[in-house]
């Protein structure tokens, strides 16, 4: 069973959505409670809590998605490197193969 936030964000399947909502709720609690303890104004503290939720959730969302994109790029490069190693292993194009004097003069 899936949980959809605002009717369109499927928290269970979308990467980084669950963590963003959890960190957003924690940020909301910290900001709202901190503002309430500082000013004792309930309505304004609730406004700050909603703002803290939005800012924390979006901040962590972008941070997590950036790290996920970087991870996927590194994974793609590693996969391509492994495929090239298997493809070129033992051939003249193998970068790890030691070239002798005869092979250098041929090319």
Contact 64/20 with Cβ under 8 angstroms?
yes
Within a domain: 56 = yes
**Cβ count within 10 A of residue 48:** 20
Tens of pLDDT, residue by residue over 45-76, are: 999 999 999 999 999 999 999 999 999 999 99
Within a domain: 52 = yes
Within a domain: 107 = no
Within a domain: 31 = yes
Percentage of the chain lying above the pLDDT 70 cut: 79
* Total length of the chain: 107
Looking at residue 11, its pLDDT comes to: 72
Within a domain: 28 = yes
Give the number of domains in the chain: 1
Looking at residue 89, its pLDDT comes to: 75
Within a domain: 77 = yes
Within a domain: 47 = yes
Its domain, for residue 70, covers 15-87
Largest CA distance in the chain: 85
């Amino acid at each position: 069973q899936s949980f959809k936030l605002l009717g369109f964000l499927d928290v269970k399947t979308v990467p980084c959505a669950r963590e963003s909502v959890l960190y957003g709720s924690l940020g909301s609690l910290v900001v709202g409670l901190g503002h309430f303890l500082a000013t004792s104004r309930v309505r304004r503290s609730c406004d700050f809590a909603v703002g803290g939720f939005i800012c924390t959730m979006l901040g962590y969302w972008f941070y997590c998605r950036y790290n996920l994109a970087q991870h996927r790029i590194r994974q793609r490069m590693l996969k391509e490197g492994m495929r090239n190693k298997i493809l070129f292993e033992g051939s003249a194009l193998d970068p790890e193969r030691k070239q002798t004097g005869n092979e250098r003069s041929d090319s």
